[in-house]
Structure 1
Amino acid sequence: MSIQADIIEQIEKFKTIIIHRHEDPDPDAFGSQAGLAEVIRNCFPDKNVYQVGENNASLEWITTEDKIDDKVYDGALVIVIDTANTPRIDDQRYKKGAFLIKIDHHPNDDAYGDLTWVKTDASSSSELIIDLVNNSNGKLVLNKKAAEALYAGIIGDTGRFMFNNTSAHTLRVTAQLFEFGIDAAWMNRKLDEITPGIAKLSAYVWDNMTITEHHAAYIVLKHDLIKNYKLGAAGTAPIVSVLGKIDTVKCWTLFVQEEDGTYRLNIRSKGPIINGLAKEYGGGGHPLASGAKMDTLTDEQLKEYVAKLDKIAATYTGEDND
């Protein structure tokens, strides 16, 4: 029996299903979570299906979350999607259920769960949900609402098909979603839109970013600066790609100071493998898109980090990295 069949068997078995995803959610976290929830609701209307975690005002066009009591977890199936490791799971009550499933496309460095389905060559967790449906022998089916959420997730993690994680399979399953009459153009525009605050902060980043000798780039955004632009820490998400728009930049890091003084590191690349660097700082992720956290960021710590990032850029041969 395949892992997909095992997952579907558990979905069929449980009356209550609670779906979690990672903190600081992006479109794929919301899209895969909401897409799976809607598929289950559509096919099993007698089940109680919840999706939990903090809401994100900028992504409420994809979905909004449920607020549930601890007692709902009693005897429940918990599915955690799009989350590589347990510290990043939004709402740590995920451990309170009767059975735990992990579905993800990040490297499986933390193989938690009673069932674990990880496929790192998938473009997104949303793509995996479509695969789950397609391999269910008709037990799961898509509808328009699920298709909309899953499309948002796919275009989020592929950069509207600009990133090299876009495969022929990605485009085939995306084509399925179009058959439901989704407004793909509207969703593409939603992901491309920025607020006036983001536009001004983008200009600040381009004016103040540093590019190293070997074409790595970085900038540190302090919490007080972000407040001036009326953005929460999560509101800086559209800024992550800004540094990489410079044609000579190979890899880059956006340091975002949180309200508690710690730093969130958004590490990205056009080719050099950077997830090893993320792991050095307690994080991880994809070869070309990773994240990490630092409790402090002294001048010496910044200098040490940037030297490592620059070395990665310096040793890059220009070969494709999938």
Structure 2
Amino acid sequence: MTTLATAPALDLRTRFYEELDPLLDAHPDVDVVLAVIGSGYMARAIERHPGRVIDVGIREQALIGVAGGLALAGRRPIVHTFASFLVERPYEQVKLDLGHQDVGAVLVSAGASYDVSAGGRTHQSPADVALISALPGWTVHVPGHADEVAEILHREAAGTGRVYVRLSGQRNSRPRPVDGRLHLVRDGGGAPGVPLVLAVGPMLDTVLEATADLPVRVAWTATPHPLDADGLRALAGPAPVLAVVEPYLEGTSAAAVAAALVDRPSRVLHVGVPGETELRRYGTPRDHAAAHGLDAAGVRRRVTSLLG
């Protein structure tokens, strides 16, 4: 994969902040819109690009409204805050001020499902990808490495579409291609009919650890929506046995997977944050991953149950 610059192994959110200054240099039509969160990390971008980093205060509905107005004026807004404040709280504005107006923006979240576990339920948003995917015309990227964040940002800053980029505190050890496709990472010996485990974004290293000695192939994507249906069909084979491991609400990708495999007899397991119960605990992100079965041990249990 070609990345835009050689950089230290940063976490995803830090790489986003460090990339903003060169991004604003390279794309004169881009503005950054904030609701306080993140402003303390953008001093260089604010100093070098006066008027192009706009902080609306703790007003998340206005955050999206301002982005919609900028887009209508021909600007390319990059909008940033925690996922629960970027997607859930101003969802009507995302639907109307961007979608209904048919204008583009790049929404970049932090916090993911439970990264800010100490902040409580107000700062957790496992349903964000499902909500965005329910609106027409959106692309969702879930990168798993800081270099992927940089590549996605520069590509989408030069575009015109509606894009959601979900940043997580979890990350993989190396970058992978972020071209929207599914990529085979482990071939399971290459035998036909070997079950397939599809890891989304930062879940790849966990899936590789969980399935190290299991008879499965492992694939990966950073773009779960729209899903690479042709790639899934090619990898899944004529009678798929498939597990989809996603770091957000379990079953978010179910409709897209079902549509891709509609003409094939298949057994499909979706592994993610369970939606039927709510974990009323603080703890650490690692605690939450274990409680939801999204650590290596939990993923292994679920995949083993699929294998029977």
Greater relative contact order: 1 or 2 (C-alpha under 8 angstroms, separation 6 or more)? 2
**Structure 1 length as normaliser, TM-score?**
0.28
